[in-house]
């Protein structure tokens, strides 16, 4: 995965970001951080795709969908709900 693909996923999911030693990104749903990831600075850096995929809690097919824009932010939220990582409004007590 290259920097451009990483940034595309971060932007698509409206992840919050912070630059320090690395470029950190985290996905917040209803005020709760549910996924965190990071990459090194620099445009020629290779990012280990399997680590990013695991940090985002998606399988290979879902991750490819995030990169290729066939999986939307709403679909990503549904993936996380289906995996029990986050709760939907209808299942909260």
* Gap between the Cα atoms of 45 and 22, Å rounded: 12
Q: How confident is the model at residue 93 (pLDDT cuts 50, 70, 90)?
A: very low
Mean per-residue pLDDT for 12-32?
Answer: 89
Q: How confident is the model at residue 19 (pLDDT cuts 50, 70, 90)?
A: confident
- Are 38 and 45 within 8 A, CB to CB? no
pTM for this structure?
Answer: 0.80
Mean per-residue pLDDT for 15-36?
Answer: 89
Q: Which long-range contacts (CB under 8 A, 24 or more apart) does 45-53 make?
A: 45/2, 45/3, 46/1, 46/2, 47/1, 47/2, 47/3, 47/5, 47/6, 48/1, 49/1, 52/1, 52/6, 52/9
In this predicted structure, the answer to whether residue 4 has a pLDDT above a threshold of 80 is yes
Mean per-residue pLDDT for 4-27?
Answer: 88
């Amino acid at each position: 995965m290259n920097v451009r693909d990483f940034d595309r996923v971060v932007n698509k999911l409206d992840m919050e970001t912070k630059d320090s030693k690395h470029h950190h990104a985290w996905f917040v749903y209803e005020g709760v951080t549910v996924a965190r990831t990071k990459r090194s600075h620099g445009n020629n850096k290779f990012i280990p795709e399997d680590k990013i995929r695991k940090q985002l809690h998606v399988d290979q097919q879902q991750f490819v969908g995030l990169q290729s824009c066939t999986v939307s932010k709403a679909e990503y939220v549904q993936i996380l709900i289906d995996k029990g990582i986050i709760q939907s409004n209808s299942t909260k007590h």
